[in-house]
Amino acid sequence: MNFIPSDKKHLNDWKRIIIPDDNELHKIDHYISCGGYRALEKALEMKPEEIIEEVKKSNLRGRGGACFPTGLKWSFMPKNSDKPKYLCVNGDESEPGTFKDRQIFEHNPHLLIEGTIIACYAMGVTSAYIYIRGEYNKWIMMLQKAIDDAYTKGFIGENILGKDFSTQITIHRGAGAYICGEESSLMNSIEGKRGYPRVKPPFPAQSGLWGCPTTINNAETISNVPLIINNGWEWYSKIGASRHPGPILIGVSGNINNPGVFEMPTGRPLLEIINEWAGGATANKKIKAVIPGGSSTMILRGDQLEGVCMDSESLKSAGSSVGTAGIIVMDEDTDLIDVITRITKFYYHESCGQCTPCREGTNWMFRILKRFQNYEACSEDIDLLLDIANNIEGNTVCALGDAAAWPVQSIIRNFRDEFEKRTKASELKEAGN
Amino acid sequence: MLTEENIKKVEELKKRYPTKEALILPVLWMIQKQEGYISEESMKYVASLLNIPVGQILGVVTFYTMLKRKKTGKNHIEVCTNVSCMLRGSAKIMEHLEKRLGIKAGETSPDQKWTLSEAECMGSCGTAPMLAVGDEYYENLTIEKVDQLIEKLK
């Protein structure tokens, strides 16, 4: 895996802090000798509400796709509750184009563990579950080793660091369902049910795991917490884009010379990331299209990228979103109909089947797109596709429906000519027969 | 039947969850690791072990792609064909494997040595194209690397 930009000269300013340039950090003694678990010590001297305030002021926003302010989410947890409170750390990482959390499990697992314990203390949580996709068994074992070491050192368990605070951390292994990355189906999955999303409200902070107050945070989000505690909210809020600050792990894949995960401050220009960090499109080809934040985010045209930056606000005004920051680059030779057919097949396969618009609509869109692929589409099919996508969007219990609709809507909006060319070619083919 | 070691693990896990239902997925993983798949017999066993209706176990098994209800070949090769891998030639990798193993995606060879499947994104996009055999990832694939892997697994 590449972590180093292809052309380092311009990019030397940023010193990696989530995945530092250090191959030994997964060893607990080394992590401690580099200042690890000092944030935990510091946090346990603070009042829980002071930690929540610190995270709030830092402006840390979730790295799992929705960019929700983390401190605000934590403040929704009831202070006084008769029921136990839970934290779920979401490491399901199943969004196509996303491969960042895996780097944390492998290269800096104790940062994630330290963040998890601090979050537990801040919210009064006595049991945290780290949910990781089943395919990542190798990384589950790496993280489990780190957790075992942290138990041995007394950072997890009873009376942590001699204080009146105890919490446990358990890894829960998923089993190959994209939908379980959605927070409410993640909770159902932990409860031993089929991973169906729940209707909200009630929100997890009122009624989550086993009907108790629960917070769900992405693994990368949680890994930012020790940095904020160590260095203070002011320091953190000045990194990168002010409305979406901090270090961010950006995955770049597709037709690119130097694919990999790059850590940088938020708000770097998309073109700089593609051309300088990731070495530009393969064989110096022109870029036809870019998916900026994992396959659910709206696709952008190659000529729309100028001035667009990797932060929530900039991508929002460009008509897309930062999502899980998994950039997929497609060069001028890419057949976008193949791309959208494959993406739609994914959502069809992963729809849990609970809501009719998503269950039937993803299948229907996939069948129509197969017609485009096979040169059997007619001109009405373009608007039919849009009509189905528009009827899925906003009409389902969870965001998987939207995630299936947005790529279709945006690809037709930005590349309608490709679909029209294909329907004309289809008509010619039929006339030829 | 779970091994004695796994039974001990289940007892440990019971302390981590407030309900026995939460143990369904961890126990099913243990069964699959022991037996290679989850038979109807195993589902009944899990139901009696956790005192949960067998229908609920079946509901969980059928929901998750990774829980297998049938035996697969000795080597289960899963090729990612999602977008990032597709852009870097996963179709050629799949085509080569189909030719080399003499089976189509979704099939098991008659000698039970190979199962070939198309898989969704496995989080290896920066090292695409990729395939997985069990827990092991094989990344930055070329036709030559695939051939070497087949020789090794034979």
Establish if B29 belongs to a structural domain. Answer: yes
B153 at A interface, C-beta within 8 A: no
Please answer yes or no on whether B124 and A99 come within 8 Å at the CB atom: yes
C-beta neighbour count of A12 within 10 angstroms? 8
ipTM score: 0.98
CA distance A399 to B95: 34
Please answer yes or no on whether B126 and A189 come within 8 Å at the CB atom: no
Residues B127 and B89 in one domain: yes
Q: Is A251 exposed, middle or buried (0-12, 13-18, 19+ CB in 10 A)?
A: buried
What are the DSSP calls for A210-272, one per residue?
A: GGS-EEEEEHHHHHHHHHHHHH-HHHHHTSS-TTS-SEEEEEEEESBSS-EEEEEETT-BHHH
Contacts for B108-115: CB closer than 8 Å, 24+ residues apart: B108/B72, B108/B73, B109/B73, B112/B71, B112/B73, B112/B74, B113/B73, B113/B74, B113/B75, B113/B154, B114/B73, B114/B74, B114/B75, B114/B77, B115/B72, B115/B73, B115/B75, B115/B76, B115/B77
For residues B21 and A191, the answer to whether their CB atoms sit within 8 Å is yes
Q: What are the CA-CA distances from residue A218 to residues A64, A93, A383, A408 (Å)?
A: 5, 9, 37, 26
Residues B99 and B51 in one domain: no
Q: What is the pLDDT of residue A42?
A: 98
Q: Judged by CB atoms within 8 Å, which residues 158-177 of A form the interface with B?
A: 168, 170, 172-177
For residues B123 and A99, the answer to whether their CB atoms sit within 8 Å is yes
Residues B83 and B123 in one domain: yes
Residues B54 and B95 in one domain: no
Q: What is the pLDDT of residue A12?
A: 62
Question: Domain with B29 in it: what CATH number?
Answer: 1.10.10
- Residue A130: phi and psi, rounded to 5, are -105, 110
Nearest residue of chain A to residue B131 (CA atoms): A135
**What element of type H or E holds A86?**
strand A86-91
Establish if B69 belongs to a structural domain. Answer: no
Query: Distance from B65 to chain A by nearest Cα, in Å?
Result: 5
Closest by CA position to A169, among listed A102, A122, A114, A229:
A114
Q: What are the CA-CA distances from residue A278 to residues A119, A262, B90 (Å)?
A: 34, 8, 21
Q: What is the pLDDT of residue A5?
A: 72
The edge-to-edge listing of strands for the beta sheet with A287-291 is: A260-265, A247-254, A326-331, A287-291, A300-301
Domain boundary, last residue among B63, B97, B114: B63
Q: What are the CA-CA distances from residue B114 to residues A74, A186, B43, B71 (Å)?
A: 48, 32, 25, 11
**What element of type H or E holds A45?**
helix A38-45
Establish if B31 belongs to a structural domain. Answer: yes
Residues B147 and B80 in one domain: yes
Establish if B148 belongs to a structural domain. Answer: yes
Question: Which residues of chain B, if any, have pLDDT below 70?
Answer: none
Establish if B109 belongs to a structural domain. Answer: yes
pLDDT in tens, A167-183: 999 999 999 999 999 99
The residue whose two tokens read 């990781």 is: A132
Question: Domain with B123 in it: what CATH number?
Answer: 3.40.30.10
Establish if B68 belongs to a structural domain. Answer: no
Residues B80 and B148 in one domain: yes
Q: What is the pLDDT of residue A289?
A: 98
Residues B117 and B146 in one domain: yes
Q: What is the pLDDT of residue A9?
A: 57
> Which residue segment(s) compose the domain that B31 sits in?
4-63
Mutate to test the interface with A, among B54, B87, B122, B127 (most CBs of A within 10 A): B87
Residues of A within 8 A of B67 (CB-CB) are 175-176
Residues B58 and B79 in one domain: no
Amino acid at A386: L
Residues B89 and B136 in one domain: yes
pTM of the shown model: 0.97
Domain boundary, last residue among B16, B34, B63: B63
Q: What is the pLDDT of residue A4?
A: 73
Mutate to test the interface with A, among B56, B90, B121, B141 (most CBs of A within 10 A): B121
Residues B103 and B148 in one domain: yes
Residues B33 and B84 in one domain: no
The alpha-carbon radius of gyration of chain A (Å, integer) is 22
Residues B119 and B79 in one domain: yes
B22 at A interface, C-beta within 8 A: yes
Establish if B144 belongs to a structural domain. Answer: yes
Closest by CA position to B139, among listed A326, A2, A286:
A2
pLDDT in tens, B5-39: 999 999 999 999 999 999 999 999 999 999 999 99
B91 at A interface, C-beta within 8 A: no
With the CA atoms of B38, B44, B47 and B53 taken in that order, what torsion angle do they form, in degrees rounded to the nearest 10? Answer: 120
Query: Distance from B67 to chain A by nearest Cα, in Å?
Result: 7
Residues of A within 8 A of B20 (CB-CB) are 192
Domain boundary, last residue among B29, B63, B97: B63
For residues B35 and B42, the answer to whether their CB atoms sit within 8 Å is yes
Q: What is the pLDDT of residue A270?
A: 97
Helix H, strand E, coil C: the string for A147-214 is HHHHHHCCCCECCHHHCCCCEEEEEEECCCCHHHHCHHHHHHHHCCCCCCCCCCCCCCCCCCHHHCCE
Question: Which residues of chain A, if any, have pLDDT below 50?
Answer: none
The tally of domains found in chain B comes to 2
pLDDT in tens, A201-233: 999 999 999 999 999 999 999 999 999 999 999
Nearest residue of chain A to residue B61 (CA atoms): A194
Q: What is the pLDDT of residue A127?
A: 98
Q: What is the pLDDT of residue A433?
A: 62
A83 at B interface, C-beta within 8 A: no
Q: What is the pLDDT of residue A96?
A: 98
Q: What is the pLDDT of residue A6?
A: 66
Establish if B70 belongs to a structural domain. Answer: no
Q: What is the pLDDT of residue A432?
A: 81
Please answer yes or no on whether A192 and B136 come within 8 Å at the CB atom: no
